[in-house]
Amino acid sequence: MQMTGYELLENYEKAEDKDKQIQILADLNHIPVDMVCFVIDNSEKFDTSETPLSTEEFTKWCETELDRVDAHIHAQEIYYRELCNVYRIASTYGKRSVDL
């Protein structure tokens, strides 16, 4: 059985025991629990008024999202390196004159 993201969310929302429902949905769809959790955590991406995404469309969305996240990570890495350099300079500023 393969449910769309919309169907996964609908079944999850109707469940009394949501934790158990995650495992049930994963088992029914032969997908990892993490994938069900991903759909639940990103429920805003699955507007119920829209036509369900095909597997290819969902895959393309995932690729686009990965690219977006990768670009964000890269920007954060650059910021981190710059901040480390500033910290290194600030933490050693004035110590040389004291050590002499």
Question: pLDDT over 90 for what percent of the chain?
Answer: 46
Average pLDDT estimate for 74-82 = 96
Report whether pLDDT(88) > 80: yes
Domains: count for the chain: 2
Per-residue pLDDT tens digits for 31-55: 889 989 988 998 887 765 556 667 7
Are 24 and 67 contained in the same domain?
A: no
- Predicted local confidence at residue 20, as pLDDT: 96
Is the Cβ–Cβ distance between 3 and 29 less than 8 Å? yes
Indicate whether 87 and 59 sit together in one domain.
Answer: yes
pLDDT at residue 42, as a whole number: 86
Could you tell me if 67 and 31 lie in one domain? Answer: no
pLDDT(100) > 50: no
Q: What mean pLDDT value characterizes the chain?
A: 85
Contact yes or no for 4/52 (Cβ under 8 A): yes
Burial environment of residue 93 by CB neighbours within 10 A (0 to 12, 13 to 18, 19 or more) = exposed
pTM score, two decimals? 0.52
Domain, as residue range, for 68: 53-100
Shared-domain flag, residues 43 and 61: no
